[in-house]
Structure 1
Amino acid sequence: MSFGLPSVKPKPGGFESLDIHEGHYGVPDVMTYGLSSTRPNVASSHPLEQSEKMYAKNKELMHMTMLRNLQGLHAPLRLTMELRAAEKVGRLPFLPSSNFMRDVLSGRDEEIGFEDFLNTAEFREQMGQPHAVLEKQLGIL
């Protein structure tokens, strides 16, 4: 008996080929291709790491599937419509956005994560002049 729920088991990611451009002596050619980070090219060190990276996406997919099975097709469609409307709400580009409406719709407003106290807007390193940021977005500058 299947309820149509997505699998909770993590799917193993395959090894990707490293795309390192080497020069004449077998050393990466930094002057031609620039510095590259090897971290994205390295495979996961543990199967649980991939599962943790995909936790939020899997949780949302499971929630939408359960809503569809319990309440019909209208419930996930309506929730998706409200989430997209919440993403389109804009502010001026120099004002920080907390995405509170999206957090309420997804249920994250009741959770406390590291981004709640380690990445606050007043301690952000990138802070521009409001007029220059707005002119850049409008294409004036």
Structure 2
Amino acid sequence: MAPVPPPLDLVLTADWVSPSVARDKVRTWLKANGWAGPRLDDLVLAINEAVSNSIEHGYGIGADDPTGSGLVELRGEISGRHVTFTVRDHGVWRPPADDPKSTRGQGIRLMRACADQVTVDVTDEGTTVVLRSGQAPASAEGTSG
């Protein structure tokens, strides 16, 4: 039986540098575990969106706002040929403004297009987004980094 790769665990500050840090760390971790191509890119995009949503909607931090005091937790786990990412904040859910002319508010739709399963759980303690992939490329099976 192939060894299980170590999980990816990140704790990010609620600021607008964190999505970029998450993208870089997730991309490096996935590549080290045999992921490549469009599936890798889709997962990185979904993580970027989940982290950005935590910052903007969970903590209410706009693009021009200073760094917030909140944290965004990111965990990636590989099981068999699937990867699961969990993104958690401890903020308060703020739905996007209802503006019919806006092109914003497409984050969850984007995440669903990039991952095979997406769940969003909103509680008084914060929001948790779980993204699960379909099967990894065959080269990722049993690969550890």
User: Does TM, scored on the shorter chain, surpass 0.5?
Assistant: no
Larger strand share, 1 or 2: 2
More helix by share: 1
State the TM-score, normalized to the length of structure 2.
0.25
**Higher RCO (CA 8 Å, separation ≥ 6 residues):** 2
What's the TM-score, normalizing by structure 1? 0.26
